Structure 1
């Protein structure tokens, strides 16, 4: 396996991605094109949580998928959106352009997002699959498209009271574009299939976020699988010792740790894996 960091550019803006590339297996006697996942970690749009980067990427590798971690735009001198949408499109195009050289199945590009990164993925799943919105947000200049998404405790509706961001100043730092405040309202029948999970006891992102998104997908007959676990804090990642903060038992949860196996089963059922 090869691990390498890259700098990508859109206009005058640079951002980083990190690739986790699978090697070909000599025993197979032929080359294999692997699916790939683009991972958007959480971090409240103020940092990129490393607990949701390499551990997640390596687990996807273990199931026969290349992985790329996208370090998307954070709150700063510029808002998160619409820059983050272009970063995702550029990353997909970059992957598509090297599909042959890297043995990537460009028809099986999966997006996975956690918490704030889940908002990036959910929003992109609405904007990038709608021709009018794709043009409005300048995504039509990029090639390639994703096939499905995986969301873990995602921020969906940023206007829900008592749920992240729950602060008008922060909300406007993320984006002043009200059209992007509610990812569920961007969903259309053209949006891609989704696997979604959250815990009922999530103290930062209210459960209504995932319920709204899943309901909208279901209403439009977009394939979706939803798992609402009965316990667990926000930001569990795997819920195992691999992503546990040292000495903090609240990051361990053997029930929610099953989400990753369920997600891989779903990918297989949807013919994106195996």
Structure 2
């Protein structure tokens, strides 16, 4: 069902919400009118499986759309319906839907990637490592990697470093050394080491400023993040776009 139309940077976007087979899950589609297929980005917001962080959602999608991406946001089960396996199923179903409707969505399935924030980063990493993943590239922002904070989140997850394999897509990771929620040595570093052990192309940016949960870290997402911004950490988005240009 179409819910609204936005005019953003000269791009007309149809925004729709599509129900997924997984209960209490849906896919927000930010479809930009285009005369040719565009790269696609599937956004997995954070929220500790207790909520969908809005700062990781629509404003991130609109920002990607303004850079010529078809953008999608997965709304997986949270709060009383939270379940790690169900959330993983929702992500997989979102990709299946996008690829099955690639022509009408004007998205190039060979340029379809995934990006996740915090707990959403854990889901993005997990999906990127499954057999026959449809993700061609991966972005992980201050991701949960190991189940060290399961008690805090109230859900049983897994150590996604154990899922990395020779077919894991090229991965871009960023975070902050100030992050005490997913500390670098406990989460990002082990995942980077796992990627390197399988010769997976990886780019890492660990910022000296910023913190956990800043989304784009600029004023656009800061307005829904208690004005929490960090100019230096906000460079991750430009770095990510430049990194994509280096991929085959």
TM-score, reference length from structure 1: 0.81
Larger radius of gyration: 1
TM-score, reference length from structure 2: 0.89
Question: 5+ unaligned residues in a row in structure 1: which ranges?
Answer: 25-30, 132-143
CA distance in 2 between counterparts of 1:65 and 1:182 reads 31
1:114 Cα deviation after fit? 0.1
CA distance in 2 between counterparts of 1:92 and 1:267 reads 19
Q: Which has the higher strand share?
A: 2
What is the aligned counterpart of 1:71 among 71, 75, 78? 75
Correspondence 1:56 to 2:56: no
**Counterpart position of 1:111:** 114
CA distance in 2 between counterparts of 1:158 and 1:227 reads 22
1:245 Cα deviation after fit? 4.7
Paired residues, number? 235
**Counterpart position of 2:85:** 82
CA distance in 1 between counterparts of 2:168 and 2:225 reads 41
- Aligned counterparts, 1:35-46, within 5 A: 35-46=39-50
Measured on the aligned residues, the alpha-carbon RMSD in Å equals 1.9
1:240 Cα deviation after fit? 1.4
Question: 5+ unaligned residues in a row in structure 2: which ranges?
Answer: 1-12
CA distance in 2 between counterparts of 1:258 and 1:104 reads 26
Q: Deviations over 1:122-147 (max 9, x none)?
A: 12222x13x7xxxxxxxxxxxx7111
Q: Deviations over 1:144-202 (max 9, x none)?
A: 7111110000000113xxxx34x2xx56x422xxxx52111110111111000000001
What is the aligned counterpart of 2:28 among 18, 22, 25? 18
Contact 1:75-1:174 within 8 A present in 2 as well? no
Structure 1: 4+ residue segments shifted above 4 A: 245-249
